[in-house]
Amino acid sequence: MRDLTGKHKDLDIDSMPNVTPNGIPYDYYKDYYKDYYKNFNKDDNEDMTASDIQKLMEMYMSHPSPRPLSPPPLKEKREEENARSLSLALGIGIPCLILAISALVVGYFLYRRWKRKQRARSIYASSVPIVVNQNIYSKPLCGALSGSSENTDLWALSRKDLEISYEKKLGSGAFCNVFYGRIIGVAPICTVNPNLISTSRFKDCEVAIKMLPSFADDMARSDFQQEINFMKSLNYHPHLVSMLGYVVDPKNPQLVVEFCSKGDLLHFIRDKKHEIVHAYQNGTGLRIRDMLSFSWQISNGLEYLTSVGCIHRDIALRNVLLDESNTCKIGDFGLCRLTDNLLYTARGGRLPLRWMAPESLRSFEYSFQSDVWSYGILLYEMFTFGEVPYGAVDNAEILKFLESGQRLEKPDFCTADIYAIMRACWEENGAKRPSFSHICTKFVDIIENAQPDYGYVQAAAADLGEI
């Protein structure tokens, strides 16, 4: 039981009366004040003794009259405080997190923009050409951008010595426009290469002028200047479109190159298809033997590019031009890269998927061997008179098609020896593909042994009436 004198004995709680002298149920004390006392006077892991409970009971039994007891609702108060703290943390944390993410995104785009500007500035202001070989002719834009009135770049051409016919657009694309024009006087290439046999050709001559569209950004200008620098570094070659000079202008640079009156080889071959197919019957016009000559000329130009360490990356009939004497010239050096390594890894950009080797499609890796693969696709274009490679295959399925071992089929007007060159170019293992020197030699042998009816005998079974 309990001792009212204040001396405590063991208390059997279950045997206590239901109601205290002041009228408050013992169960109220047992259930409520046990928790109250425990929270404020005992460790959480310690139970109350009967003496502890009796102390509380005696304290409240001494009240003169019954009254409801309202000790602080501790559990509810703690839950309320925890909820308030959580709401405060979320109210502050979420906006701060959103601000931090926004700052990171804005910072990333500002950094990208800054890098593009730095790249453009380094190319325009550099005093050393981007590409280097045995002929270092230039110090890019050294006079015009530095504020000097004297331009020491031998390749530089004054704007007054260049006539541009803007009404005669030769070509256009997402990255440049090409116009017909004329050079007044001697082209700068004659000063750079005084021993050039074709010097007389480049005086008061027709030219093509390549320039950027008005909406070009810093990256496009940087790439265009890189193309100019690349072309400066090349020797004159009969099977490359040669640079004749350029107009120095940081806002509107203009690249001046040879004019090829018959346009690109892709459209030329398509237009001449009927003439070539029926040439043996008619005894006149272009023949398949002429296509052999085109194939050799292109491989000869690519052999030179390989010898100076150039990976072209965009070998296709559309990028080969034809002059008035049916001389093929490789052009469009916008994707060209000079490298001392055997492998070049690109970082994206516009890509000619249907002309790319499997390793380039898989991981954007380019090499001299990947150029050989593309040359094999060019041969297919040539002997199909300009058909699109893998015409029945979607772009997304080309790699799967090639990895399954399938290849383009032999065209009707393609001999077995030409198709053998194509298949050699399309070896899965790049190391097994022939070099351009070897391809040149093969074409020389084929041309020397080709008869006037070369290519027509095996095509006789084709339905010429549908061609």
Among the listed residues 314, 332, 371, 412, the single catalytic one is: 314
Q: 349: number of CA atoms within 13 Å, CB side?
A: 15
Q: Residue 268: CB partners within 8 Å, gap ≥ 6? A: 262, 322
301 class by beta-carbon count within 10 Å (0-12 exposed, 13-18 middle, 19+ buried): buried
How far apart CA 362 and CA 356 sit, in angstroms, is: 10
Tell me the C-alpha distance between 116 and 124, whole Å. Answer: 12
Q: Can you tell me the distance from the alpha carbon of 245 to that of 236, in angstroms, rounded to the nearest whole number?
A: 13
- In the 3-class helix/strand/coil scheme, how is the chain assigned residue by residue? CCCCCCCCCCCCHHHCCCECCCCCEHHHHHHHHHHHHHHHHCCCCCCCCHHHHHHHHHHHHCCCCCCCCCCCCHHHHHHHHHHHHHHHHHHHHHHHHHHHHHHHHHHHHHHHHHHHHHHHHHHHHCCCCCCCCCCCCCCCCHHHHHCCCCCCCCCECCHHHEEEEEEEEEEECCCCEEEEEEECCECHHHHHCCCCHHHHHHECCEEEEEECCCCCCHHHHHHHHHHHHHHHCCCCCCCECCEEEEECCCCCCEEEEECCCCCEHHHHHHHCHHHHHCHHHHCCCCCHHHHHHHHHHHHHHHHHHHHCCEECCCCCHHHEEECCCCCEEECCCCCCEECCCCCEECCCCCCCHHHCCHHHHHHCEECHHHHHHHHHHHHHHHHCCCCCCCCCCCHHHHHHHHHCCCCCCCCCCCCHHHHHHHHHHCCCCHHHCCCHHHHHHHHHHHHHHCCCCCCCCCCCCCCHHHC
The token pair at 172 is 């256009």
First CA to last CA across the chain, in angstroms? 120
Please, are residues 169 and 179 in contact by the beta-carbon 8 Å criterion? yes
Mark whether 314 is an active-site residue: yes
Catalytic residues: 314
